[in-house]
């Protein structure tokens, strides 16, 4: 297991951080009804758990985006837009990971034009070492090392999103050759990291 992937955050560590973040949002937004927006697909699992940790009347909405061209240029296409207007709403954009920050920066710009009452970010993982665009992340789960990470919503070739924990991949070449190389190992490791 350790040669191919290593546990970075166990399910219990993630649960604790999600509880803390939900508690902070509950305190900060007392008396208000924030809209928690999930950016599909990776953020969906975190969004679902975070919602259950927020003890307020909340609203939810979803966005789906795709990057233009190869690599992260920061220009994204909105594949599925929000269902509802966010004018005068307190909006929290929920992301699984912020890497270069280009995606988030573009999304924040787009959402700001819709004139919400407030707009904040809640990200589970912050790969701050990779940041290109300065960003203010109000709620942050973990300062994540600059490694390839999988699990809890984060994928490789669409696999591994359903792991309840997060791993760093030690053998990227092996995973590229066989996208399911980690599946059996992580299945057997699963019980230990729940």
Binding interface with ligand PRP (CB under 6 A) = 39-43, 72, 95-104, 155
Q: Which is nearer to ligand PRP, 76 or 186 (CB)?
A: 76
Calculate the dihedral angle through the C-alpha atoms of 90, 37, 127, 66, rounding to the nearest 10 degrees: -130
Return the beta strands (E) in 3-161 as ranges. Answer: 5-9, 35-40, 59-67, 76-80, 90-98, 118-126, 139-143, 149-150
Residue 108 CB, nearest approach to ligand PRP (Å): 12
Residue 168 CB, nearest approach to ligand PRP (Å): 16
User: Residue 74 region, left (φ>0) first, then alpha (ψ -120 to 50), else beta?
Assistant: left
Residue of 49, 90, 96, 99 marked catalytic: 99
Residue 37 CB, nearest approach to ligand PRP (Å): 12
Contact 13, 43 (CB under 8 A): no
Residue 154 CB, nearest approach to ligand PRP (Å): 7
99 carries an active-site annotation: yes
Nearest residue to the partner ligand PRP, using Cβ: 42
**Local structure of residue 117 (DSSP, 8 states):** S
Q: Which is nearer to ligand PRP, 100 or 168 (CB)?
A: 100
Residue 165 CB, nearest approach to ligand PRP (Å): 17
Q: Which is nearer to ligand PRP, 104 or 175 (CB)?
A: 104
Distances (CA, A) of 121 to 4, 96, 100, 118, 183: 32, 11, 15, 10, 32
Q: Which is nearer to ligand PRP, 98 or 108 (CB)?
A: 98
- Here the tokens at position 86 are 């966010």
Q: Strand pairing of 59-67 and 76-80?
A: antiparallel
Q: Smallest Cα–Cα separation from 135: which of 110, 111, 99?
A: 99
What is the Cα–Cα distance from 117 to 115, expressed in whole angstroms?
A: 6
Q: Which is nearer to ligand PRP, 73 or 188 (CB)?
A: 73
Residues involved in catalysis: 99
């Amino acid at each position: 297991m350790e040669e191919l992937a290593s546990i970075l955050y166990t399910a219990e560590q993630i649960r604790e951080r999600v509880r803390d973040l939900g508690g902070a949002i509950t305190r900060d937004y007392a008396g208000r009804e924030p809209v928690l927006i999930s950016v599909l697909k990776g953020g969906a699992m975190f969004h679902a758990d975070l919602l259950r940790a927020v003890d307020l009347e909340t609203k939810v909405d979803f966005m789906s985006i795709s990057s233009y061209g190869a690599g992260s240029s920061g220009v994204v296409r909105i594949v599925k837009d929000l269902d509802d207007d966010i004018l005068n709403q307190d909006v929290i954009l929920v992301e699984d990971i912020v890497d270069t920050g280009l995606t988030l920066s573009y999304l924040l710009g787009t959402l700001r034009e819709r004139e919400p009452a407030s707009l904040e970010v809640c990200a589970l993982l912050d790969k701050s070492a990779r940041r290109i665009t300065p960003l203010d992340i109000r709620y942050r789960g973990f300062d994540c090392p600059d490694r390839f990470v999988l699990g809890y919503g984060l994928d490789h070739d669409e696999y591994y999103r359903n792991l309840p924990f997060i791993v760093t991949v030690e053998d990227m070449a092996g995973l590229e050759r066989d996208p399911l190389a980690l599946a059996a190992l992580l299945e057997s490791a699963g019980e230990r990291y729940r």
